[in-house]
Amino acid sequence: MALRPIVPADEGLLREIYADAIETQTRALYSEQQVRAWSALAWLPGVLDRTLREGCGWISGDDAAFAIRDPRDRLALLYCRGRAARQGHAGALLDRIEADAADEGVTCLRTEASQCSRSLLERRGWTVVAPETIAIAGVMFERYRMERLLRHSRS
């Protein structure tokens, strides 16, 4: 699967993918109120701005999915449009993000996973550290702090 580095001009596209992923794939696990609160974050000023501008990441060549590390030892965002779900985008992005981190000497990646991404990450060797409850726009969500030990590449 072709991936390309995220560039500043991708910010609007990344927000579109983020909102689409939530609106098309989360309704079986989240209430309508949760879906609305979460997807609205894509467009609220200041919420994703720094991560989208300063994070390091990749986007699939067909603009279907993206992943960003921010800071370098944290998978901050991993989102895929509903039309492209279960087609290998997340796996390819995770392979690249994990390889980049290992190449930079990161020994452990961490993230906060939604109910949607928890099982994907667990299948790929991530482990749950602890569940946690957060509020988005006053709406409660359960998510999972997770981590993945990395093998370093030989340089």
Task: Tell me which of 151 and 147 has the higher pLDDT.
Answer: 147
Domain boundaries, the chain: 3-149
- CB of 134 within 8 A of CB of 107? no
Q: How far apart are CA 123 and CA 119, in angstroms?
A: 6
55: β partners? none
Which segment of 35-39, 91-95, 112-116, 151-155 scores lowest on mean pLDDT?
151-155
Q: How far apart are CA 10 and CA 6, in angstroms?
A: 6
How much is the pLDDT for 69?
98
Average of per-residue pLDDT values in the chain: 93
SS percent in the chain: helix, strand, coil, step 5? 40, 30, 30
- 78 has pLDDT over 80: yes
How much is the pLDDT for 121?
97
Q: Top-level CATH class of 3-149?
A: alpha beta
> Which pair of tokens denotes residue 20?
């689409």
